[in-house]
Amino acid sequence: MLNAQVEPYQRLRENLSQRDRSLREKVMTLEEAASFVQDGMKVGIGGSTMSRTPMAMIWELVRQRRKNLSCSRAITSTDGDILFGSGVSDHIITSWFAQGILWGLSKVMRRHVEQGLARYEEWSHMAVGMRFRAGGMGVPFLPIRSMLGSDVMDQRPEAKQIDCPFTGEKLLLVPALNPDVALIHVQRCDAYGNAQIDGLQFMDIDLALAANRVILTTERIVSNDQIRRAPDQTKIPFFCVDAVVEVPYGSAPHECFGIYEPMLNHMEAYVAKVNSDPVEGMREYLERYFYEPKSWNEYLALIGMEEVLDASQKGRSIYND
């Protein structure tokens, strides 16, 4: 019987063939882009840990009170706390879930998983990446050695162990992961969705190819002429993209390489609040920073101009503390 997580190849091909791949302007607001994400969908999240997290898009989905999303990401940080704590997601697929390297395991995550309020599905880091890559290639699985002999493999009956038909070695087949929608934040792109990424690309290219739709948030929209002047820097092409939203500081309070560092004072305050009381602390945080602000700029104002400017200076200067 076909695993429920794996789309039949023919259906994937049909979905891809129906996409509008024309060169057209796709600029819209956060609110308009959020309409692509409906309750119960599979959502891939770009970036990794606290780097290039599409936080503005997550902020908008929380405000619109989406429900029952199955979210997948390379490495999950406080974005996972927000997704679980707000009720937007009841299932997260990832290789690591903590509040960031500085703060350790999330008490919000532990409460939701231990009390059966949500599901945390753990794979190895390589396995998550290869699942996205299989999805982007349009094949139902890819073979890996990662996870063989580990307890992680024992928890993942979806992966199938085989003997390699060429060498006889043990291999693990991991199923393709094809999100309905991918949320990816980049440093810049044009109005058509040609996106350039500085620094580590993580799994974003494979994610963009694997997803049925892609929402790009970007620090700034640049002209197509500027994109064409450095075509080798374009990592995600326009024909993968369905929406472009210009959102300066769209990863705040996380980082965006070359533009700003994490806003650590805000993060410290957040962790202290939710770890002291994962229920009431999360409720108060969401109310103040997600539901009360009327715009993303108001959200940034609550974080504080001094914090934002300090993160910007550290992100752009070689003289970091």
| Shared-domain flag, residues 67 and 103 | yes
pTM here is 0.94
Average pLDDT over residues 158-172: 96
| Model pLDDT, residue 10 | 74
What CATH number is attached to the domain comprising 220?
Answer: 3.40.1080.10
Number of structural domains found in the chain:
2
Whether residue 172 has pLDDT greater than 80: yes
Residue 121 sits in the same domain as residue 164 = no
Specify whether 193 is located in the same domain as 268: yes
CA distances from 20 to 123, 136, 205, 242 (A): 33, 17, 19, 8
Mean pLDDT for 294-317 is: 96
| Tens-place pLDDT, residues 196-254 | 999 999 999 999 999 999 999 999 999 999 999 999 999 999 999 999 999 999 999 99
Within-domain flag for 19: no
Please indicate, yes or no, if residue 17 is contained in any of the structural domains. no
Can you give the pLDDT at residue 6? 60
Q: Do residues 96 and 222 both lie within one domain? A: yes
- When pLDDT is averaged across residues 140-162 and rounded to a whole number, the result is 93
Q: Is the pLDDT of residue 317 over 90?
A: no
Q: What is the domain range of residue 82?
A: 29-140+176-316
Average model confidence (pLDDT) for the chain? 94
Same-domain status, 130 and 273: yes
Q: What is the mean pLDDT of residues 36-54?
A: 98
Q: Are residues 92 and 51 in the same domain?
A: yes
Last residue of a domain, one of 175, 199, 234: 175
Do 94 and 224 have their domain in common? yes
Note whether residue 20 is domain-resident.
Answer: no
pLDDT value for 102: 85
**For residue 321, pLDDT beyond 60:** no
3 falls within a domain: no
Residue 202 and residue 116 share a domain: yes
Nearest to 85 by CA among 61, 102, 53, 49: 61
Predicted pLDDT at 4: 46
* 16 falls within a domain: no
196 and 301 in a common domain: yes
